[in-house]
Structure 1
Amino acid sequence: MARLKRLGQPVVSEDNDLRIRAAWLYHSQGLTQKEVAERLGVSRGTVIRLLNEAAERGDVQIWINESESACVALASQLEQVFDLDEAIVVPGASGDAAARSVGIALGQFLSQVVTEDMTVGVGWGRTLTASLTSLRPARRSGVKIVSLLGGMVEARDSNPLEFSWRMATRFGADCYLFVAPAFVDSAETRTRLIEKCGLDRILELAKSLDIAVLSVGDIGRESTSLSASMVTGEELGEVVAKGAVSDVLCNFLDRDGRSVDHPLNERVMSIDLDRLRKAGHLVIATGGAHRAVAIAAAISRIGCNTLVTDETAAAALLDLKAG
């Protein structure tokens, strides 16, 4: 795999990030212009322009400005340690601000990498919803947006089906909704809905995803994951007791990325995680140091090509791997 090619000109804030990344890779890491271009997924001409702009703006002195180079350095380390095609790291924030900043970076990324005739599978969450504020793609013909998870009867902060529809609207794309509740009453009901109610079309599309875009939730008694609000307190306590630390599309995973042995994992209406792992390019977008264990578990289970996160989560992930 390789990092996805950008189309068109970057938006202002992403151009700034690319400029700093190019300068850091060229001056601090000693990469050639050609190597920098390959690393960033842009042309050599773009790299030359970015390096010239960095010099003119004073970004390049004896060292690269520390305030911005810290995120670039963390991104480079994440790419090496977790074998990623690309890591995008934004400055740290707390609470909902973390979801917004990571989401904005995700929206900028998707605006440039989704091309014509792509099939894009999407999850849900505060971070993905925040990506809509910066998602300004050119219209791409033949794009399909596929919801990877059922919806909520009582929508609060976000709803998987609503998010899928809003993203499809931004791209002018066809939208395929996973029209079912996120959880059903039994594994048998799940099977019947998939086989008898037309959801097999969603599963078929999921076999050929060009890009899958997900957020990861932390699971615990102090969980901030939206999925925690969709199960009872008793059920949450049971999955935590089974070792759950991570939520991927409402599938509960332990530290090693294995599905915990609990009926919730048999009742969830989502794309199978092992199938999801086969997507052409898998994007995880999640921030916050408290989610480092959850992110690592998700990567162990489904892999990751591009990670969009903040510097607190990035540092915690690297510490986790080192420890």
Structure 2
Amino acid sequence: MANGDRQETAYMAVRVARLYYFQNMTTAAIAEEIGTSRATVSRLLSFALDRGLVEIRVHDPQEVSGNLESAIAERYKLRSIQVVPVSAAATEKETLQRVAGHAAAYVSSLVAPSTVIGLAWGTTVAEIADKLLPKHVHDVDVVQLNGSGTGLNFVNTFGESIVSRFAQNYGARAHHFPVPAFFDYADTRTALWREKSIKSIRALQDSASILLFSIGAEATGSHVHTGGYLGDEERKIIRDEGLVGDIATVFFREDGTWRDVALNARSSGPDMDCFQRAAHSICVVSGKGKIPGLRAALQGGFINELVIDEPSARLLVEQIRAAEGKEHNP
């Protein structure tokens, strides 16, 4: 869909949503007012929900979503927790689309003039790029956080295309990071990091106020595990060191430790300290398979804002309470 068509659809979706939710008009009445069919009105309402243009909260006596967010907040001191309502019967694709639409709308609400956005490529962030609605903002930079080249292709367009799509959406400057996801030798990375051009990209990464990423996990078929980035040697390191996930190709253990992980000496990803410094370190989680890695990342303090689907949030809370039970009853 062209940008002009997407903007027109978004405009119509917002107009229909206002009539439906604020004016309590029926779909038939809306269709008559704007000169279209009831089916089109329904599609526009669905579009508004999927793209995060409308957020609906149901305040039932048990306050399910609020309880989930509160339970997570009690364990982890995050500045923002957003549980995205998703049916337990939804497919993985449907869940990802719903969560990505919500995350896209939220990120756009944060983008202001002179913002630097750092992106860790992956399936989830790629889906978020698809859900963005055009919003041109003055003097914005979008920078790739880790290289995406593989042993077969030094320049891999997967990460670069995500950065380009975000930059185009905001009328921003795109800054790619044309290096391998993992170097064959740590010394090669050390030498390359001394180059002025690489230093400038890494300085921009470090200055980002918005960092957007998900958790890499083998159980969910994350792109880092399926895209040819890891060989037998790397997989052995992951098994031997008990690594449960990665952010921007930097791996960590269950307790959130990462500095002495051998594989990270060859990773192109940034030091995890930058995630602890960023104003908005936003982790987007879709799927229960990411929960072990998510818990480790929360333990490590790499996340200060979380967007997560409801079934995964429910599992996270169950595990939090089980762990607390063990702490109180050793």
Give the structure 1 partner of residue 106 of structure 2: 109
**Runs of 4+ displaced beyond 4 Å:** none
Find the residue that maps to 1:89 and give its secondary structure. strand
- Check if 1:12 corresponds to 2:6: no
Q: Corresponding residue for 1:100?
A: 97
- Superposed counterparts of 1:1-323, under 5 Å: 12-13=48-49, 14=52, 16-17=54-55, 19-20=56-57, 24=59, 63=60, 70-90=64-84, 91=86, 92=88, 93-153=90-150, 159-196=158-195, 198-219=197-218, 222=219, 224-229=221-226, 230-259=229-258, 261-322=260-321, 323=323
**Residues 220, 290 of structure 2: 8 Å contact kept:** no
Q: Deviations over 1:166-201 (max 9, x none)?
A: 111111101111121111111111111121261101
AA of the residue aligned to 2:146: L
Per mean C-alpha deviation after superposition, the further-off stretch among 69-78 and 180-189 is 69-78
- Look at both structures and tell me which one has the larger radius of gyration over its CA atoms: 2
Q: How far apart are the structure 2 equivalents of 1:293 and 1:167? A: 29
Distance 2:202 2:259 in 1: 23
Q: Deviations over 1:131-151 (max 9, x none)?
A: 123211421001111110101
Gapped runs of 5+ residues in structure 1?
Answer: 1-8, 25-62
Letter in 2 for 1:258: T
User: 2:97 corresponds to which letter in structure 1?
Assistant: R
1:97 and 1:152 mapped to 2: Cα distance? 29
Q: Give the whole-Å Cα distance in 2 for the aligned partners of 1:308 and 1:184.
A: 31
Q: What is the TM-score when the length of structure 1 is the normalising length?
A: 0.75
2:74 is matched by which residue type in structure 1?
Q
Query: How many pairs were matched up?
Result: 269
Instruction: Give how far 1:262 is off.
Output: 4.6
Q: Is the 8 A contact 2:117 2:141 kept in 1?
A: yes
Structure 2: 5+ residue stretches without partners: 1-13, 18-46, 324-330
The structural deviation recorded for 1:105 is 1.3
TM-score normalised by structure 2 residue count: 0.74
How much is the aligned-residue C-alpha RMSD, in angstroms?
Answer: 2.6
Q: Distance in 2 between matches of 1:234 and 1:158?
A: 24
